């Protein structure tokens, strides 16, 4: 069996590691419904998984490793970049799928009242990005006095988990067309 051409690239290594972190976040989040204490670890895993997913996507679409270093942990600076366009599109589609699955399963109270799951996903992602990039108090890494409310994990993590899965299965779908 031939290995895919992307298998030994730095971008693939980031994507594969992102998949493992988001898989972990998904498993932890599934158990957090019965044990609220697991929400913070799930968000920490999701934040790091998303950071790796974005950096892998940027590498695949022309960014250098040196350029990635300049972003640090700032998910919210990477998310809107043109090179991440296909990733954003896939995540929005997966937000709708995750939302519909939650309605069908009846897993979460009041999930039916969410009118626009893509918009809610974007809000939660921005909130996670702010928490993940925090340099003063590290509210999802260490105990902090900061009482900010964390994003709801189920829609966010389910959407990112599906997106990472799509990425490893359909690598070429995440290649952004070159800017002319």
Q: What is the pLDDT of residues 107-157, one digit of tens each?
A: 766 777 788 989 999 999 999 999 888 876 666 777 666 666 667 788 999
Task: State the pTM of this model.
Answer: 0.90
Q: Where are the domains of the chain?
A: 10-174
Q: With 0-12 CB in 10 A as exposed, 13-18 as middle and 19+ as buried, what is 31?
A: exposed
> In whole angstroms, what is the distance from residue 49 CA to residue 46 CA?
5
pLDDT tens figures, 21-35: 999 999 998 887 766
DSSP3 helix / strand / coil % (the chain, rounded to 5): 70, 0, 30
R_g of the chain computed on alpha carbons: 16
């Amino acid at each position: 069996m031939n290995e895919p051409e992307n298998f030994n690239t730095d971008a693939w290594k980031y994507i594969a590691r992102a998949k493992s972190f988001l898989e972990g976040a998904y498993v932890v989040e599934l158990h957090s419904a019965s044990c609220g204490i697991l929400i913070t670890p799930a968000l920490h895993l999701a934040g790091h998984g998303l950071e790796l997913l974005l950096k892998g996507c940027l590498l695949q679409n022309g960014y250098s490793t040196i350029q990635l270093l300049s972003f640090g942990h700032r998910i919210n600076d990477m998310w809107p970049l043109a090179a991440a366009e296909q990733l954003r599109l896939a995540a929005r589609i997966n937000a709708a799928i995750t939302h519909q699955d939650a309605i069908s399963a009846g897993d979460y109270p009041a999930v039916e009242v969410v009118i626009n799951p893509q918009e809610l996903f974007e809000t939660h992602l921005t909130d996670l990005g702010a928490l993940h990039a925090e340099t003063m108090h590290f509210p999802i890494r260490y105990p902090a006095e900061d009482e900010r409310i964390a994003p709801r994990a189920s829609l966010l993590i389910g959407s990112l988990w599906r997106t990472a899965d799509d990425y490893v299965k359909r690598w070429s779908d995440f290649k952004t067309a070159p800017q002319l």
